[in-house]
Structure 1
């Protein structure tokens, strides 16, 4: 299977996940209110950060060592043992300090935190095994089913009147069921790992653990800090804006996850030329959806947020700022992906460390001084430091460059799209009396129009995009010259 087609499978799967998650979130915010959703977001952020402590980079280490095709089951067994011990320590700590945990979140959730920690280690191990054995095309659809299972369980329990407890318990149930299916697909052999397997995992994890913290810092540090300084309602709106922005990161994430096993394998063969080619391809298309997303959110962000319920439109510019940060962050991830693939996690460690420290310090200072907008500004600002350092380190080993011309073409197509959508919105709001009563329909029409305009223009002005589309579709596209 070509890497482009694998990415397409991943994108379709993640798109389905996003749609399912979007619909479920709309149900929760409209049924339970923004404050309860805020408690839910803070709880998951806490679980996620505690998950870094219980994993300390061994998830990425398992993917790396298994992808090298040497004793994959032994490395999986070693990783399972290590993560199991660490999870036990963290879970006991949560139970000991459950009063403080409940006080921070604002709800009695300590037992759910422990349950979610246990479920997350199981799910994380299966995900690592699938990615490490080059089954990204299996991992992606399974992730879709996991999101669907979680959403169904959560909605059912909330409908039954369980409220926040239903959301948290449903999240755990859906995750556990899909991880069990993944275990059946992987079917690892039961082997007894040797000490050298643990050592090799540690050699990678001692640097890559900061990569896990980088992911959590970008996605959850602001939520955790907001939980200290602002009401749960505003935290809930911020979390909704973040989840909406992540919808547009799908393609960049697909590129990263698809290319890592391949680049890791090429690194073992000392094929740096191919790694350079793959890195340049990743940078070319990382912002394919995010660049138009920034323009679209600036024009439609208020109406997009209103889909979640009255009052959510105050998160309009939070959404725009987060998308700017997410765009830079996505380019950074491609570069860090390359550093890890060529077995230089020490350099990724330095870039991640600079980003994490800057992000946390700016979050605390800006949230305390100017409120919830400070979290978005801090997150967007700190991504620039990680990007510059990552690019500097990658250029030490491979010939890579920023694809200014392709990014420029994507920007031209996005701005052109923005003009069309802005005009269409003004005409609709002026001449169509139903748009306020049927906001969802109006937003869907404008988003569809924008997507059609953007990709049509990009196909016309970008030869590389035309060639990539043609090469990775299973059929020929008429009237599209390459």
Structure 2
């Protein structure tokens, strides 16, 4: 597997951004409590879903057409025109129905929803342009910078007493500033698009729009449904647990974002062998962080969530379920990434439809019947449905193989790591309980120990992993290349 320096830059950058977000979230939850954080989570989920209406898949379509390197500026201009018009319609609808919006969230946030929608169009267009022009190595650091600026501004506004308003305004300011910087990197030429550019985008977007809904369904559908049936405090706890599980999906996203432009280019060149190899590699490493995360989250979930405040420890009930769901979803995303890359968004559409339908029905039924844990079960189950459909459709066109050996070795390393971490937790609790407020340091130590043990074991038992590490290091370690440079 040769992800190259681009995926490494993406991974490190996103990791840095997530760490900043992690500490900012701790400040918000400890300062404002789970209820206000629940209002914040529901508001962002609402903005996210309204954002689908104003985009209808054109973001991914812009990436696809620009990555084909034919008239990229014209396709960017066409996408900008369409998304601007749709955003204005959606924003007007929010203002007209501001009373219903405020009643649903539980706070007067309609104007902030409009602001976030407007900012999101610029941010989304710039991100699409960076990815479509093969500048993922630029997009990733900017994404980290956005999270950093958002965190700093949000913390500052909350500190001076703006509470929920400060969080929402800071979120918008950070996104707007980084979008402006990204636009400078893109430097698009002014081009008046023709109808054929719009039609070409629509030809792809008419199927890929459901892919956008798939992503939002997985990350936000449960939050929206929880907003209907459970107190905002539980919604806030659930949102924090989901954020932790999503944090471990960073490496999978690095693979997917790095490979899509390459898959698209290889498909245009009819390079079937490379498409097969890239798909195999993506599946081999999509669970590299998530598999040990499931084991570690099961063992340490209560202590990890207690860092956000004592009331968040109950989130350990849903964290392992969410982690399993994210793992299934991660594999599914790699397969759908291949389908979109080979210009078969129609098949990705069908797989997404199965996932979205099952997610919506299960969330409504399970949350209503058994409460907030039902949201996690619905998310994990629907992710499994999406994975099955993604596998079926991708296998029809790409002769990839399931890397069972490599995945099994990752599970072996994770389970052995779990034994070490469990023993360390038992001994630590028996001997450190007399120390006040030791939880945060204790958890960080256990997580660090687990990471070292997991990667040390995997490095020892997996020839493929050793070769992958050697191939992507900026310096040569010849004895690591057991199978040579692929």
Q: TM-score by structure 2 length?
A: 0.98
* Structure 2 residue aligned with 1:263: 263
Between 209-218 and 433-442, the greater mean CA deviation after superposition? 433-442
Preserved CA contact (<8 Å) 2:302 2:313: yes
Separation in 2, partners of 1:436, 1:388:
48
1:480 shift after superposition? 4.5
> Any idea what SS the aligned residue of 2:399 has?
coil
Alignment of 1:33-432 (within 5 A): 33-432=33-432
* Structure 2 residue aligned with 1:12: 12
> Any idea what SS the aligned residue of 1:161 has?
coil
Preserved CA contact (<8 Å) 1:298 1:317: no
1:3 shift after superposition? 3.1
- Unaligned 5+ residue runs, structure 1? none
Separation in 2, partners of 1:156, 1:113:
21
> Any idea what SS the aligned residue of 1:470 has?
helix
Separation in 1, partners of 2:477, 2:432:
37
Preserved CA contact (<8 Å) 1:263 1:338: yes
Q: Show CA shifts across 1:13-70 (max 9, x none).
A: 0100110000000000001111000000000000000000000000000000000000
Separation in 2, partners of 1:206, 1:458:
42
Residue 218 to residue 436, structure 1, CA distance change in 2 (3 Å): farther
> Any idea what SS the aligned residue of 2:223 has?
helix
4+ aligned runs moved over 6 Å, structure 1: none
1:398 shift after superposition? 1.3
> Any idea what SS the aligned residue of 2:108 has?
coil
Preserved CA contact (<8 Å) 1:428 1:435: no
Residue 125 to residue 70, structure 1, CA distance change in 2 (3 Å): same
Q: Show CA shifts across 1:318-368 (max 9, x none).
A: 111000000000000000000000000000000000000000000000000
| Pairs aligned (count) | 481
Residue 193 to residue 420, structure 1, CA distance change in 2 (3 Å): same
Preserved CA contact (<8 Å) 2:467 2:480: no
Separation in 1, partners of 2:60, 2:364:
28
Between 264-273 and 471-480, the greater mean CA deviation after superposition? 471-480
> Any idea what SS the aligned residue of 2:85 has?
helix
Preserved CA contact (<8 Å) 1:252 1:330: yes
Separation in 2, partners of 1:190, 1:348:
33
Q: Show CA shifts across 1:235-270 (max 9, x none).
A: 000000000111100000000000000000000011
Separation in 2, partners of 1:249, 1:351:
20
Separation in 1, partners of 2:228, 2:167:
22
1:477 shift after superposition? 4.3
Separation in 2, partners of 1:59, 1:256:
15
1:4 shift after superposition? 2.7
Between 435-444 and 327-336, the greater mean CA deviation after superposition? 435-444
> Any idea what SS the aligned residue of 1:18 has?
helix
Separation in 1, partners of 2:412, 2:134:
36
Residue 435 to residue 294, structure 1, CA distance change in 2 (3 Å): farther
Q: Show CA shifts across 1:165-215 (max 9, x none).
A: 000000000100000000011110000000000000000000000000000
Separation in 2, partners of 1:453, 1:23:
25
1:436 shift after superposition? 5.5
Preserved CA contact (<8 Å) 1:301 1:319: yes
Between 425-434 and 52-61, the greater mean CA deviation after superposition? 425-434
Separation in 1, partners of 2:398, 2:336:
13
Preserved CA contact (<8 Å) 2:41 2:223: yes
- Unaligned 5+ residue runs, structure 2? none
Separation in 1, partners of 2:476, 2:317:
41
